[in-house]
Every structure is written in C-alpha cells, then in structure tokens.
Amino acid sequence: MPRKKLILLPKSFRILAELGENIRLARLRRKLSLVQISERANISRPTLTEIEKGSPKVSIGYYFSVLKVLGLEKDFLLLAKDDLLGRKLQDAQIQIKKRAPKK
C-alpha cells in the first residue's frame, strides 16, 4: 500500500521551521552538540538535524523527546492551550449535532 503524500500549506511549513529553529537555539544555548542530544533522546543524528530544520516527516514523539532532553517538555502543554475559535463557538452556543445512539 503506497504512503499518502503529506500536504501542508506554506504557513504550516514556516511554523515548523520556526519550531525547529527554536529547538536548535535552545540546544546551542545549553552548549550541547547534535550527538549529545541525539544520544540522550535516543534518536539518530540525522533525525535531530531534520527536527532542527522543522521537517514535517519526523514523528511528534521525536520532537517531544528532544524537548524533554532540553528541559522544555512543559512547553508542549502550551500547544492548543488557547482555543480562541472553540471558545467563540462555545460562547455563541452553537448546537453540535449528537450522534445516533449505538444499538
């Protein structure tokens, strides 16, 4: 079975690239090498390089492992924390259709 091609908008690529750059800067501020981080995160050095480039092909679990090694794992909890659209929908009291009951 062939793999599906990943389709992302340019804005999404820019966001991932910024995340990768932030991870790279955090590593450099701590004066840690690619090899040190990759060994501690239990990933290969080329995978870490892809993370620092913001590659969408890398598993989110690997991103988390690197953040954990850098001591930034709590930043992961900030993702989707402020759901402005969801709050606006909730405030507007839009009725969400319920599923039919299971038999």
Residue 94: its pLDDT value, please? 60
**Does residue 2 lie in a domain region?**
no
Chain segment 16-66, per-residue pLDDT in tens: 999 999 999 999 999 999 999 999 999 999 999 999 999 999 999 999 999
Pure H helices in 1-103: 10-29, 34-41, 45-53, 60-69, 84-91
**Does residue 61 lie in a domain region?**
yes
CATH number, domain containing residue 77:
1.10.260.40
Domain extent at residue 63: 10-91
Amino acid in position 95:
Q
DSSP conformational letter for 6: P
Residue 1: pLDDT band with limits 50, 70, 90 = low
Residue 96: pLDDT band with limits 50, 70, 90 = low
- What are the CA-CA distances from residue 21 to residues 17, 24, 28, 100 (Å)? 6, 5, 10, 46
**What average pLDDT does this structure show over 66-89?**
87
Domain count, the chain: 1
**Does residue 27 lie in a domain region?**
yes
